Amino acid sequence: GAVVSQHPSWVICKSGTSVKIECRSLDFQATTMFWYRQFPKQSLMLMATSNEGSKATYEQGVEKDKFLINHASLTLSTLTVTSAHPEDSSFYICSAERRAGTEAFFGQGTRLTVV
C-alpha cells in the first residue's frame, strides 16, 4: 500500500498560538488530500478537501480562516490551526489517494492539545 506521513504525531500548545500539521504522500502524487477531525468516542468528520494549486473546499461549519489549508505541491498538504483554543483539542488526520476514487491511505494522525 501507499504511505502517507503526518507530522507531528502529537503537539501541545498554548491557547492563542498557531499550530501547523503536515501531511505528505511519500511514494505517490496526490492532487487531492482530505483533512478529518475526530473527537473522543466519535467518528471521523471531514473538515476540508485540499486541492493542489487551488483553494481548499471546506465543509459546512468549518471556519476557513481558523483552519488554513495549503496544498503547495503534489506530495504535501498542511493544516494550520490558527489562534488555537481548548475546544480545538482533537485528533486531526489526513488522507490521500493515488487517483480519485481509489483506495484512501491515511496518515498516522496528530493529537492536538490546547492548554
Partner 1 sequence: KQEVTQIPAALSVPEGENLVLNCSFTDSAIYNLQWFRQDPGKGLTSLLLIQSSQREQTSGRLNASLDKSSGRSTLYIAASQPGDSATYLCAVKNSGYALNFGKGTSLLVTP
The binder of partner 1 chosen from 28, 62, 98, 109 (CB under 8 A): 109
Least gap, CB of 101 to partner 1 (angstroms): 5
Binder among 1, 53, 61, 86 for partner 1 (CB under 8 A): 1
Nearer to partner 1, 54 or 102 (CB): 102
Name 40's Cβ contacts closer than 8 Å, sequence gap at least 6.
none
Q: Contact letters (x/-) for partner 1, 26-65, by CB under 8 A?
A: --------x-x-----xxxxx--x----------------
Question: What residue ranges bind partner 1 (CB under 8 A)?
Answer: 1, 6, 34, 36, 42-46, 49, 91, 93, 95, 100-109, 111
